């Protein structure tokens, strides 16, 4: 079976183009007819011992395929850090880590026809949180990270919570210049002091969230010092002054500068909320929460009422250009979309996506759910429209705020598989997904 799939997969290298492209006609070599004078020998059934040996060999292949390389030291450190941050964030709220996480859904029995909301995965803790808790959870996670790496945590604050990217760029480059001057001229005292009331510092740096914690983390302390050149009158101001011991750690300062310049904002990842449903006539019915809309619940109800009242009149008076413009305006009301893909056997794969993500993301999502991810397929939209341009976004294809699509296999490849007479699995989906199958109610 495996050898057969490998042969088919190798054959596809020249029979298929990239994902979403049409297949070229497969080249078929006519089979040589057996000579009439040579009678074919009847095939003997394998003995019990041969069958047992084959089963054992197949089992060993399965184990080897599933075996993973041991985790690297860096991966172990990252996991420990995640656990530390999760525990620290939970202890601040007086809750356990399990209580802070999203309650796992009961996959046995009936399930809701759609989703309860839009959820995100925190990249620092791995916790799944609802959309309205995303920003607060990120703050808690970064705050907890200060106990692990205060420099990295302060850099996360600077890049994540200051929304004006241009201000962040200017401020970060100015701070990097301060650190660079110290690294290049450690013997000059003037570079180790930064006046807080300095105009450049006030305009470019002090306005950024997380900046003061960064200076403290890299080894600066606040001091009140007299300002030189003020004559007999004593005039004092606040400065950031680099601690003496940091002069022996100049390479650390260089690393901090590089981290500051190369870091990116911490962004929670959209949780796909992958679900698999049994075949159901309810597949085309969607009930979406307010999270999927840019408008508030009251605004949505008002728009629906006005649209219903003016439907007949609008359809008579609007030109085609006006209708297209209104459709584009409608598309912008949705941030997310819930997509279901129905397989030929009736099973349904469901996931949540950004409305402006490209269809290539959906194709990858489906492919990762297959037992054999090399099998070519195409997705059909409403009315059987082929979704072949994977660069288009969901909202550009009208697949928002929800859509039911149909998966179709490549007919030539499936014909080759069926002609081989090999036994096919009951479903093309991975067994671990089928073990969590739900029922649409």
Report how far residue 162's alpha carbon sits from residue 295's, in angstroms, rounded to the nearest whole number: 25
**Could you state, in order of their start, the residue ranges of all structural domains in the chain?**
119-269, 330-439
State which CATH number among 3.40.47.10, 2.120.10.30, 1.20.120.420, 3.10.20.90 fits the domain covering 330-439. Answer: 3.10.20.90
Q: How does pLDDT run across 97-111, given as a tens digit for each residue?
A: 333 333 333 434 444
Give how far the C-alpha of residue 38 lies from the chain's centroid of Cα atoms, to the nearest Å: 61
Give the pLDDT band of residue 293 (cuts 50, 70, 90).
Answer: confident
Token pair in block for residue 149 = 């790496």
Phi, then psi, of 40 in degrees rounded to 5: -65, 140
Asked if the 119-269 domain carries CATH number 1.20.58.2190, the reply is yes
Report how far residue 334's alpha carbon sits from residue 337's, in angstroms, rounded to the nearest whole number: 7
Q: Is 347 helix (H, G, I), strand (E, B) or coil?
A: coil
Q: What is the pLDDT of residue 380?
A: 96
Q: How does pLDDT run across 242-279, given as a tens digit for each residue?
A: 999 999 999 999 999 999 999 999 999 999 999 999 99
Residue 28 has what DSSP assignment?
Answer: -
Supply the mean pLDDT for the chain: 78
- The yes-or-no verdict on residue 27 having pLDDT over 50 is no
Decide whether 119-269 matches 330-439 in CATH topology: no
More confident residue, 144 or 82: 144
Tell me the CA distances in angstroms from 381 to 16, 70, 330, 405, one per residue in order.
22, 43, 19, 5
């Amino acid at each position: 079976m495996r050898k057969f799939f490998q042969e088919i997969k190798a054959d596809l290298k020249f029979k298929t183009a990239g994902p979403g492209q049409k297949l070229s006609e497969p080249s078929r070599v006519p089979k040589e007819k057996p000579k009439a004078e040579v009678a074919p020998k009847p095939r003997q059934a394998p003995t019990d011992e041969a069958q047992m040996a084959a089963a054992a060999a197949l089992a060993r292949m399965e184990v080897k395929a599933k075996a993973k390389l041991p985790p690297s030291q860096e991966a172990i450190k990252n996991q420990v850090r995640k656990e530390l941050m999760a525990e620290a964030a939970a202890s601040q709220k007086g809750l356990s880590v399990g209580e802070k996480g999203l309650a796992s859904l009961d996959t046995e029995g009936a399930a809701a026809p759609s989703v309860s909301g839009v959820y995100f995965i925190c990249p620092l803790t791995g916790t799944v949180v609802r959309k309205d808790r995303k920003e607060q959870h990120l703050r808690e996670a970064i705050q907890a990270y200060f106990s692990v790496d205060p420099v990295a945590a302060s850099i996360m604050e600077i890049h994540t919570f200051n929304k004006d990217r241009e201000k962040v760029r200017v401020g970060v480059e100015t701070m990097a210049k301060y650190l660079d001057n110290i690294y290049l001229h450690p013997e000059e005292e003037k570079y180790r002091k930064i006046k807080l009331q300095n105009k450049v510092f006030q305009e470019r740096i002090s306005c950024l969230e997380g900046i003061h914690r960064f200076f403290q983390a890299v080894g600066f302390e606040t001091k009140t010092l007299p300002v030189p050149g003020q004559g007999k009158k004593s005039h004092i101001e606040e400065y950031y002054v680099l601690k003496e011991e940091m002069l022996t750690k100049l390479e650390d300062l260089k690393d901090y500068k590089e981290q500051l310049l190369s870091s990116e904002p911490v962004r929670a990842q959209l949780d796909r909320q992958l679900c698999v449903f049994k075949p159901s006539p309810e597949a085309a019915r969607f009930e979406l929460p307010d999270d999927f809309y840019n408008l508030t619940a009251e605004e949505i109800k008002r728009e629906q009422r006005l649209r219903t009242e003016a439907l007949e009149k609008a359809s008579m008076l609007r030109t085609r250009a006006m209708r297209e413009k209104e459709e584009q305006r409608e598309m912008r009301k949705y941030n997310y979309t819930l997509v279901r893909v129905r397989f030929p056997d009736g099973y349904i794969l469901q996931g949540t996506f950004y409305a402006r993500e490209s269809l290539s993301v959906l194709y990858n999502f489906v492919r990762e759910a297959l037992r054999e991810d090399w099998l070519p397929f195409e997705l059909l939209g409403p009315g059987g429209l082929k979704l072949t341009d994977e660069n288009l976004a969901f909202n550009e294809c009208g697949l928002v705020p929800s859509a039911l699509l149909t998966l179709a296999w490549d007919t030539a490849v499936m014909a080759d598989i069926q002609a081989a007479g090999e036994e096919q699995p009951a479903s093309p989906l991975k067994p671990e997904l089928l073990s969590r199958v739900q029922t649409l109610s």
